[in-house]
Chains A and B, each alone.
Chain A
Amino acid sequence: MRRSGRLGKWLVSGPPLLYLIVFFAIPTLIMVLASFRTPGDFGGLTPLFDESGKLDLNVDSYVRFFTESVYAEVFLKSVWYALLTTLLCLALGYPLAALVARSGRKHRNLLLLLVILPFWSNFLIRIYAWMIILGPQAALARGVNGVLGFFGHEPVPLLFSSFAVLVCLVYVHLPFMVLPLYANLEKHDQALLDAAQDLGAGAWQRFWRITFPLSLPGVYAGAALVFIPALGIFAIPDILGGPDDSLIGNIIKQQFLETRDWPFGSVLSIVLTVAAVVIAGLAAWIGRRNLGTPSSARTARA
């Protein structure tokens, strides 16, 4: 009985565990190992043991990252873009999630469908669509430049700019903010808002003291789902950005595919992963402190 119970547990949890080991843990370890090795003359890596049979591991690539400031700058720029994307998604997504959560059951499903509708078409196709929307011949660019020209301003290109990158970053990540926020807001108890109003709280106080603090688990979940992928993105700056809009994701891609410096690409990837984990952990820690309630009570509510 007990044996078969244990077997059943392994049968259920074994396949996903195996999947993660093969496709996540082992590749990560390979990457960590690669970051300490030497790049080959034509890409790839030199043998792990050199001609004299000595183990060839070094920290040259790490030294390079921390001494050539250009990489740290790109890295900080990526953090800044990801942060800005997260804040803009929050500012746009919160009212949207609240609207969906408060609408009637009939409209709610339709609105939710509209939020996830972009997922029905390919990610790259949607980015290319923005090339057309933001292109110089499109109505948007013409309108904007018409207004600017009226005030005697030089025309500005919308496409291939940090503006285009940011707009598309927000566009792509917005549903990842809306969905967890909606899931949280939808469960809020109207009686709490009634009670707050009864106790003298106006509309703003009700939001700021009741709705918002109770929605923080949703805010943190949404922020993590937006911030982490936005930090490593490379397709959007590649397609919509100008020459100065390369982010850390682009540099990593460049190291592996163009410069063919695998160890340095690995170092950048590791720094990115560590940064994402640290920032997400920090946010969770701040969240727990601010909320002041044990995590069990919070998850029950979330």
Chain B
Amino acid sequence: MSLLEIRNVTRRFGDFTAVDRVSLSIEAGEFFTLLGPSGCGKTTLLRMIAGFDLPDDGSIFLNGTDLADRPPEDRPVRTVFQSYALFPHMTVEGNVAFPLKMAKTPAAEIPTKLAAALEDVRLTGFGKRFPHELSGGQKQRVAIARALVTHPTVLLLDEPLAALDAKLREDMQIELINLQKEVGITFVYVTHDQTEALALSHRIAVMNAGHVEQQDEPSRIYGFPRTRFVADFIGHCNLLSGPVVANAGGFVTLDIAGLGPVRVAAETPAAVGSSGAVALRPEKIRIAAVAPSDTPENHYRGTVAEMLYMGDVTVYKVQTPGGEKIEALLANSASGRAKFFDVGDAVEMSWAVAAGHFIPE
């Protein structure tokens, strides 16, 4: 049995089902992320794990024990709140020592544990400060130290980096990864930021409208989105829809309007005549002025309709003869030039059969 087992958990608010029969198994020592847009139920699920909310149906097991009858203060689970929720009338030490006092830790042990917790988050020497004397990143670290000082079984993090600016967020992401490795505590992380989820997690559950769309490792979530929602939500993705016209040996062929037949790898068999879509990441598409000699099976002509120079890469939107726009990404590192093509240039798009991914509909 996994460390944290969520079985068929449902939570309704009036007519609205916030969490809809969600089942998840989270392993000990795992960095697990609940990813989804706002209102998808990820925070409600987190609050149910913490004990602030109770499921209408289903149950949550921690180490094999049902948590249903245990109030938040009796669960070996700690939360890092989005607003940090530091106690403004206590110093950093007072805040971090708070859970130790609540757990009736002998007074003699408190200073050692306090020092260790502050060292873990690199805040040694900040103990006497009050929360209003700290920067956003420092407050964040105090909140984490406070949650970790009693060595909980699971640490829940509710969008902990949302209030920080971009540069600081990146630094904190690296710190979080290192910290999680160091303390070995299971992290359950809630975010709506897909890059953050991809960067931090061992596994991700993508949630939408109360249910889990896909549960997988970051590279599989990104590379092999199983539903249209996941493909669309995680990064940029071209979704080319059309009817299935052939199906053989793990590959299906779709008839895409404006392009013609497109062959793509399929994990699930699809009947001829059913409809589906090809999910194709922009960076997997090659574009060239003329078709190269090793052109793969899927190659189509188009015209550059729009382009966005992003510094490291350039995004090209290539219009097919049928009028559809396909996004392609080209790294600028390949040449000293800022761009390869201009708006209006005729180009040849191509991608390998294995580059795309079939999503049934």
Which B residues lie within 8 Å of A191 (CB)? Answer: 81, 83, 85
Instruction: Report the bound CA distance from A180 to B122 in whole Å.
Output: 40
Query: In the complex, which residues 98-134 of chain B have their Cβ closer than 8 Å to any Cβ of chain A?
Result: 98-99, 102-103, 130, 132
A104 at the interface (CB under 8 A from B): no
Instruction: Report the bound CA distance from A2 to B132 in whole Å.
Output: 36
Query: In the complex, which residues 165-207 of chain A have their Cβ closer than 8 Å to any Cβ of chain B?
Result: 189, 191-192, 194-202, 205
Instruction: Report the bound CA distance from A202 to B89 in whole Å.
Output: 19
- A-B residue pairs, 4 tightest by C-beta: A200-B102, A195-B85, A199-B99, A191-B85
Instruction: Report the bound CA distance from A194 to B75 in whole Å.
Output: 13
Nearest to A291 among chain B residues (CB) is: B89
Give the size range of A's interface with the partner: 20 to 34
B309 at the interface (CB under 8 A from A): no
Q: Which of A20-28, A208-216, A230-238 lies at the interface?
A: A208-216
Instruction: Report the bound CA distance from A213 to B89 in whole Å.
Output: 7
Nearest to B79 among chain A residues (CB) is: A198
Are B103 and A200 in touch, CB under 8 angstroms?
yes
How many residues from B make CB contacts under 8 Å with A? Answer: 26
Contact with B along A229-266 (1 / 0, CB 8 A): 00000000000000000000000000000000000000
Which B residues lie within 8 Å of A297 (CB)? Answer: 88, 130, 132
- A192, A200, A210, A214: the one within 8 Å of B99 (CB): A200
Contacts A197-B73, A200-B102, A205-B102 given; indicate if A292 touches B85 (C-beta within 8 A): no
Which A residues lie within 8 Å of B91 (CB)? Answer: 292
Which B residues lie within 8 Å of A189 (CB)? Answer: 83, 85
Which of B74, B88, B91, B130 has most chain A Cβ within 10 Å?
A: B88
Q: Tell me the smallest distance from the CB of B12 to a CB of chain A, in Å.
A: 21
A108 at the interface (CB under 8 A from B): no
Which A residues lie within 8 Å of B72 (CB)? Answer: 194, 197-198
Contacts A200-B102, A200-B150 given; indicate if A301 touches B71 (C-beta within 8 A): no
Which B residues lie within 8 Å of A198 (CB)? Answer: 50, 52, 72-73, 77-79, 147
Sampled A-B contacts (23; CB under 8 Å): A189-B85, A191-B83, A191-B85, A192-B85, A192-B88, A194-B85, A196-B87, A198-B50, A198-B73, A198-B78, A198-B79, A199-B73, A199-B78, A199-B146, A199-B147, A200-B99, A200-B103, A209-B98, A214-B88, A293-B130, A293-B132, A297-B88, A301-B88
Which A residues lie within 8 Å of B102 (CB)? Answer: 199-201, 205
Which B residues lie within 8 Å of A213 (CB)? Answer: 89
Are B150 and A210 in touch, CB under 8 angstroms?
no
Which A residues lie within 8 Å of B98 (CB)? Answer: 196, 199, 201, 209
Are B89 and A200 in touch, CB under 8 angstroms?
no
Instruction: Report the bound CA distance from A194 to B51 in whole Å.
Output: 10
Are B89 and A293 in touch, CB under 8 angstroms?
yes
Are B89 and A195 in touch, CB under 8 angstroms?
no
Instruction: Report the bound CA distance from A200 to B151 in whole Å.
Output: 13
Q: Tell me the smallest distance from the CB of B102 to a CB of chain A, in Å.
A: 4
Which B residues lie within 8 Å of A197 (CB)? Answer: 52, 71-73
Q: Tell me the smallest distance from the CB of B30 to a CB of chain A, in Å.
A: 21
Query: In the complex, which residues 243-302 of chain A have their Cβ closer than 8 Å to any Cβ of chain B?
Result: 291-293, 297, 301
Are A200 and B85 in touch, CB under 8 angstroms?
no
Nearest to B75 among chain A residues (CB) is: A198
Are A194 and B88 in touch, CB under 8 angstroms?
no
Nearest to A191 among chain B residues (CB) is: B85
Are A194 and B52 in touch, CB under 8 angstroms?
yes
Are A214 and B78 in touch, CB under 8 angstroms?
no
Which A residues lie within 8 Å of B147 (CB)? Answer: 198-199
Instruction: Report the bound CA distance from A196 to B88 in whole Å.
Output: 12
Query: In the complex, which residues 223-270 of chain B have their Cβ closer than 8 Å to any Cβ of chain A?
Result: none
Which A residues lie within 8 Å of B74 (CB)? Answer: 200
Instruction: Report the bound CA distance from A191 to B88 in whole Å.
Output: 12
Q: Tell me the smallest distance from the CB of A189 to a CB of chain B, in Å.
A: 7
Instruction: Report the bound CA distance from A195 to B47 in whole Å.
Output: 12
Instruction: Report the bound CA distance from A201 to B89 in whole Å.
Output: 16
Further 5 A-B residue pairs, CB within 8 A, beyond A189-B83, A293-B88 = A191-B83, A195-B86, A196-B87, A197-B52, A200-B102
Which B residues lie within 8 Å of A195 (CB)? Answer: 79, 81, 85-87
Which B residues lie within 8 Å of A209 (CB)? Answer: 87, 98
Nearest to B99 among chain A residues (CB) is: A199
Are A202 and B73 in touch, CB under 8 angstroms?
yes
Instruction: Report the bound CA distance from A196 to B91 in whole Å.
Output: 15
Which of B50, B72, B83 has most chain A Cβ within 10 Å?
A: B72
Which B residues lie within 8 Å of A200 (CB)? Answer: 73-74, 99, 102-103, 150
Q: Tell me the smallest distance from the CB of A259 to a CB of chain B, in Å.
A: 50
Nearest to A194 among chain B residues (CB) is: B52
Instruction: Report the bound CA distance from A189 to B86 in whole Å.
Output: 11
Which B residues lie within 8 Å of A293 (CB)? Answer: 88-89, 130, 132
Instruction: Report the bound CA distance from A299 to B161 in whole Å.
Output: 28
Instruction: Report the bound CA distance from A209 to B50 in whole Å.
Output: 21
Instruction: Report the bound CA distance from A196 to B72 in whole Å.
Output: 10
Contact with A along B126-167 (1 / 0, CB 8 A): 000010100000000000001100100000000000000000
Which of A191, A200, A201, A210 has most chain B Cβ within 10 Å?
A: A200
